[in-house]
């Protein structure tokens, strides 16, 4: 049965427009000086910024991989944000697969990249899916773009300065509804 094209609706178009508008706003906030309080400043032009390689594996639910770059922005004496631009691919079978791009921010409360963190992910995926709400023997295929907006929490380990494994659970508006990620920052 040939797949039908994902019908564009005003809600999906509106959501994609909001994503496109919020993304530059998020990046511009990190490129200027922000005053948190009278005594603490965030200066994104801090010379301690570094770029790292980012690799993610999603071994549970629907397997997937991602690769990208991480830009570390130190916030204050005790914290930083990793901004991650990644390209990802999820594959379950010939009927359920997706490819996408996303920008993720992971917020740590310490400079060692260990302990609990929270993450926010904003992106878009193109995929071929079986309709999850069609419980017939021959479910309908859906092809098209879907937003990927998730929020999660995780725990990071710092084995060495150049190897930082993390585990994260995230959920939100995505075709997987939620996932468990294993991440490595080199």
List, for residues 137-169, the tens digit of each pLDDT value. 777 777 888 888 999 999 999 887 668 899 999
Residue 113: exposure state from Cβ atoms within 10 A (0-12, 13-18, ≥19): buried
Please say whether the beta carbons of 149 and 174 come within 8 A. Answer: yes
Question: What is the reported pLDDT for 1?
Answer: 44
C-alpha 53/C-alpha 12 separation (Å) is 32
Extents of the domains making up the chain: 4-32+48-185
Q: Is the whole model's pTM more than 0.85, yes or no?
A: no
Q: Work out the mean pLDDT of the chain and round it to a whole number.
A: 75
What is the predicted pLDDT for the residue at 36? 41
Give the per-residue pLDDT at 167. Answer: 94
Classify domain 4-32+48-185 by CATH number.
2.40.160
């Amino acid at each position: 049965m040939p797949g039908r094209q994902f019908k564009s609706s005003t809600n999906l178009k509106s959501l994609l427009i909001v994503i496109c508008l919020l993304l530059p706003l998020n990046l511009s906030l990190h490129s200027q000086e922000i005053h948190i309080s009278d005594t603490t400043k965030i200066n994104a032009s801090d010379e301690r910024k570094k770029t790292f390689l980012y690799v993610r594996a999603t071994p549970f639910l629907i397997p997937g991989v991602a690769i990208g770059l991480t830009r570390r922005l130190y916030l204050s004496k005790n914290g930083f944000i990793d901004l991650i631009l990644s390209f990802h691919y999820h594959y379950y079978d010939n009927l359920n697969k997706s490819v996408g791009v996303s920008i993720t921010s992971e917020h740590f409360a310490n400079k060692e990249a260990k302990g609990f963190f929270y993450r926010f992910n904003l992106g878009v995926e193109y995929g071929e899916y079986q309709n999850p709400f069609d419980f017939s023997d021959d479910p309908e295929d859906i092809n098209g773009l879907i937003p990927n907006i998730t929020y999660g929490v995780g725990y990071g380990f710092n084995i060495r300065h150049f190897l930082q494994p993390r585990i994260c659970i995230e959920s939100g508006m995505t075709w997987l509804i939620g996932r468990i990620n294993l991440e490595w920052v080199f």
